[in-house]
A and B are shown apart, each in its own frame.
Chain A
Amino acid sequence: MFGEFIKQIRERQRLGLREFCLENGYDPSNWSKIEREVLPPPRDEETLRTWAKQLGLKPDSDDWLKFFDYAAVDSGRIPDYVLQDEKLVAQLPVFFRTISGQKPSREDLEKLVELIKSANRP
């Protein structure tokens, strides 16, 4: 709910993840986890106010109120810590370009599975 909402806000303004995080000094991995609802929103009111302003929300507008409502609902949510095997397998990539142009080894593939899991872990 909250993650999806803040992503929509960014999309509406065509404010890229990279651009937004660089401008505001956020870690893009964590921001992406919040948008994908792997991490819950913060409980701290001050932090939420800062985020709302950085996302261009006007105080007391509909979006502003929704932002705080959704944060309140989701901040108590316990995220799913474990990426279900079925979902993980569906996400596994097929082709990838190593910088040196090599096809990845089996060991690389195993590391990759761990990285994908880490992207889906709080």
Chain B
Amino acid sequence: MNDPRKFKAPYNPKERIWQEADRLRAAHPAGRELPVKVLDLAEFDLHLDLVPVNGLCEQLDIDALLMGDLKSILVDKRAVMSPRMEYRLRFSVAHEIGHLILHRDIYAGLKHATAAEWFDYISAIPEVEYGWVEWQAYEFAGRLLVPPEPLREAFQAAIQSAQAAGYSDWLAADEAALDYIATRIAPRFGVSSEVIAKRLRVEKLWPPA
């Protein structure tokens, strides 16, 4: 077993993460619809079992997690059942797919003999490396669920509609304007307005030229 204190997150620049997300979306019909049918992608194309459990969110503040055997995703039962939590569940599952695609080698390289060994290993991974791995999966999920071209189109349409309603000055680069635009766009992609606001910045659409 490697020394977890020396654990290094794999080098995955944004461009590579985007490429992987785009490739996965393009490879399956569930990925070519909007909103991307991410639960179908997980269950039927990647053959991952979705395993709902009680209390994952309530007790651990977690919506979903990829199991170490890479065969299933544990999901919070309440998130599965509540229509109000659908966007969050979709994003969480996309995030776990990100781990599957980007971090498969890490999972394959870890073999724990006991749960105690696993505790020790996870606990000793440096926070900064852990955070970097999580960022990669987060970026993957955003790109998977919010393809750039439809985002650009939806953004242009939302800007035009806001301008037609007389908001042109207000649109300069105000945070409230970003929120307004993101909220209008979000349902098309089945994600929260926070995810859209983040994608607009990452894809360099915001602030508008």
Chain A contacts to B: CB under 8 angstroms? 11, 14, 16-19, 21-22, 27-29, 32, 35-36, 85, 88-104, 106, 108-113, 115-116, 118-119
Q: Provided the pairs A11-B44, A14-B40, A91-B69 are in contact, do residues A106 and B52 lie with their beta carbons within 8 angstroms?
A: no
| CB <8 Å contact, A17 and B67 | no
CA–CA, A101 to B128, complex, Å?
12
Interface band, chain B: 35 or more
| CB <8 Å contact, A14 and B44 | yes
| CB <8 Å contact, A103 and B112 | no
* Least CB distance, B72 to chain A, in whole angstroms: 8
Q: Is the interface of B mostly helix, strand, loop or mixed?
A: helix
Contact with A109, one of B39, B44, B95, B122 (Cβ below 8 angstroms): B122
Contact with B49, one of A29, A36, A111 (Cβ below 8 angstroms): A36
| CB <8 Å contact, A93 and B50 | no
CA–CA, A101 to B53, complex, Å?
21
Q: Which residue of A lies closest to B92 (CB)?
A: A97
Q: 7 additional contacts, CB 8 Å, given A16-B43, A89-B68, A94-B68?
A: A29-B52, A91-B69, A92-B115, A93-B74, A94-B99, A106-B123, A115-B53
| CB <8 Å contact, B55 and A115 | yes
Encode contact with A along B100-142: 1 for CB under 8 Å, 0 otherwise.
0001001100101111001100110101001101100110000
Q: Which residue of B lies closest to A104 (CB)?
A: B60
Q: Provided the pairs A36-B51, A90-B69 are in contact, do residues A113 and B103 lie with their beta carbons within 8 angstroms?
A: no
Instruction: Tell me which residues across on chain B come within 8 A of A85, comparing CB atoms.
Output: 114-115
Q: Provided the pairs A29-B77, A32-B49 are in contact, do residues A95 and B54 lie with their beta carbons within 8 angstroms?
A: no
CA–CA, A95 to B7, complex, Å?
13
| CB <8 Å contact, A95 and B99 | yes
* Least CB distance, B37 to chain A, in whole angstroms: 8
| CB <8 Å contact, A18 and B62 | no
Q: List 14 A-B contacts (CB under 8 A).
A: A14-B44, A16-B40, A92-B67, A93-B67, A95-B99, A95-B133, A95-B137, A96-B65, A100-B61, A106-B123, A108-B60, A109-B123, A110-B119, A115-B56
| CB <8 Å contact, A16 and B39 | yes
Contact with B51, one of A32, A90, A100, A111 (Cβ below 8 angstroms): A32
Instruction: Tell me which residues across on chain A come within 8 A of B138, comparing CB atoms.
Output: 97
Q: Which of A22, A93, A102 has the largest number of chain B CB atoms within 10 A? A: A93
Instruction: Tell me which residues across on chain B come within 8 A of A21, comparing CB atoms.
Output: 80-81
Q: Which of A88, A92, A97, A98 has the largest number of chain B CB atoms within 10 A? A: A97
Query: Does B59 touch A at the CB level, under 8 Å?
Result: yes
CA–CA, A27 to B84, complex, Å?
17
Query: Does B66 touch A at the CB level, under 8 Å?
Result: yes
| CB <8 Å contact, B59 and A28 | no
| CB <8 Å contact, A91 and B68 | yes
* Least CB distance, A88 to chain B, in whole angstroms: 7
